Amino acid sequence: MFIFGFYSGSFVIEAENDMKRRDFLQGMAVLGGGLLLSKTPAMAASGRPQQKSGIQVGDVLANSAIVWGRSDRPARMWVEWDTDNRFAKPRRVRGPWALSPSDFTSRVELTGLPAGRRIHVRVGYSDAGNGELSEWVSGSFMTAPIAVGPVRFLWSGDTAGQGFGINPEVGGMKIYRTMAEQEPDFFVHSGDTIYADGPIPERIEVEEGKVWKNLVTPEVSKVAETLNEFRGRYRYNLMDENVRLFNSRVAQIWQWDDHEVVNNYSASKDLTGDARYQVKSTTLLQARATRAFFDYAPIRRSGPEGSEQVYRSLPFGPLLDRFVLDMRSYRGPNTENLQTEPGTDTAILGTTQVDWLLAQLKASTATWKAVFCDMPLGLQVADGDTKWEAVANGDHGPAKGRELEIARLLKGIKDAGIKNLVWFTADVHYTAAHYYDPDKASFNDFAPFWEFVSGPLNAGSFGPGKPDDTFGLQVVYEKSPATQNLSPLAGLQFFGQVDIDAQSRAMTVTLKDLNNETLFTKVLQPA
């Protein structure tokens, strides 16, 4: 029996290298066909709970992982896992009740997992009324290693932006399928996981006289204001078969940016003149958006209980430590960004997060330190005519405004002697490789470093951004559209791939497009 595009049995990828491709291709055959697969009459008559959103796995460590699922009714979550794709001796874990306050989402932390192994997992729900068990939805993921071995991860951002949602005529969000084919150990979504502020219409006239046609639900047809509308954005993305396939294959790390709430939101955001919004309080929108994000993100809770902390560190064996930042929650208002002294208005990460990151980096013993940041450090990203959305301010001189905080961070990294640190980001809707050179910077008390940019996954293409000279940003490579807001039909949808070699420990960063074409490659040797 088929269920929501997934095979009800052990439809998973084998751990052994010689089996991976066979199983993946079999999975593609199972998922082939229409974008949305309807229920069979037998399923409809059974009264079983259903899992239309598939499963997700997130924040995987060497011995644990977060497994997420969603029922369509009050039901108890059950999770089984095994190192054998046949589930010969599955370990069963009783999860929480999926109830309406969480939009029937639930999650469980699997513990005691073996390190460096492919874990096969399946999720089911038992009806709270009649006890009937749903069909299983299956997937697999890699746990972090404890021994030196090859590492591969992907990153990108920006899903369903500028009104470009699920287009059945082009096969939906195909880049997710392309990424799944690369068989990464994990994927980092660098923010704008949804576009709550961008209505998705049935059709959009785009370049060259073409028409983009969307699948539309009531919740995505307008800007999100209610809690249900914010949740509906996540439900919408999970309607795409490519996304569900990817989620069943690849463990994820989520961070957020602005479009989870509203474009360029900060304490200075004013919706008074925006007729699309009946709710004018950005704070209230943020509260609802935050609840929806944590309902749907397969995220490991960190920080004090109830803090809704997104920044966190996640080790991934001897070769890699992962540091996930949050440039949105602790920032001051968007301003002209030219203050000469640090203060609450110049915060972008916030003092606590900067201190945390420096301490975590100093403590790291991994060869590489990957810092995942939701916005580039040196590109000029404007908020209207006079305000700035990111770090840079276009002044090109000594550090001012939010640059003061980043200058303290970069100096702290240099003074601590931290080596092999690489930044990965998204946000600007094109792909690029940046080298920050202190010899060409106005503020030069830092060690040189690389920053790689990718995205969008399924959104309008923009760029390129203008570099700011304060931290000596040198554009080594970029690919962006000649005109702004090109549709995904133009092919300018991007992701990045990182491979760390087990023997040389070299890091190879490759920028790719939605067809898996290599655009740029940089090999970094460890210090």
What is the structure's pLDDT at 46? Answer: 57
Q: What's the token pair of residue 491?
A: 């092919």
pLDDT higher than threshold 70 for residue 336: yes
- Identify the structural domains of the chain with CATH numbers, from first to last: 54-143 (2.60.40.380), 153-524 (3.60.21.70)
pLDDT higher than threshold 70 for residue 24: no
pLDDT band for position 33 (50/70/90)? very low
Closest CA to 4 of 53, 69, 75, 56: 53
pLDDT higher than threshold 70 for residue 12: no
Q: What are phi and psi of 101, to 5 degrees?
A: -60, -25
What is the structure's pLDDT at 286? Answer: 98
pLDDT > 70 in the chain, percent: 91
Question: How far lies 4's CA from each of 32, 54, 160, 237, 335, in Å?
Answer: 12, 7, 21, 14, 47
Return d(Cα 349, Cα 346) in angstroms, integer: 9
Return d(Cα 527, Cα 511) in angstroms, integer: 23
pLDDT band for position 27 (50/70/90)? very low
User: Tens digit of pLDDT for each residue in 414-424?
Assistant: 999 999 999 99
Question: How far lies 286's CA from each of 109, 256, 343, 399, in Å?
Answer: 27, 12, 23, 30
pLDDT higher than threshold 90 for residue 41: no
**Strand residues in 281-327 grouped as ranges (E):** 312-315, 320-324
User: What strands lie across the sheet with 91-98, from one edge to the other?
Assistant: 91-98, 75-82, 118-127, 137-142
Beta bridge partners of 484: none
Please tell me whether residue 45 adopts helix, strand or coil conformation: helix
What is the structure's pLDDT at 132? Answer: 96
| Separation of first and last alpha carbons in the chain | 53
DSSP letter (8 states) at residue 135: P
Return d(Cα 506, Cα 89) in angstroms, integer: 38
User: Tens digit of pLDDT for each residue in 305-331?
Assistant: 878 999 999 999 999 999 999 999 999
User: Tens digit of pLDDT for each residue in 175-205?
Assistant: 999 999 999 999 999 999 999 999 999 999 9
User: Tens digit of pLDDT for each residue in 81-133?
Assistant: 999 999 999 999 999 999 999 999 999 999 999 999 999 999 999 999 999 99
Identify whether the C-beta of residue 182 lies closer than 8 Å to the C-beta of residue 248: no
Length of the chain: 527
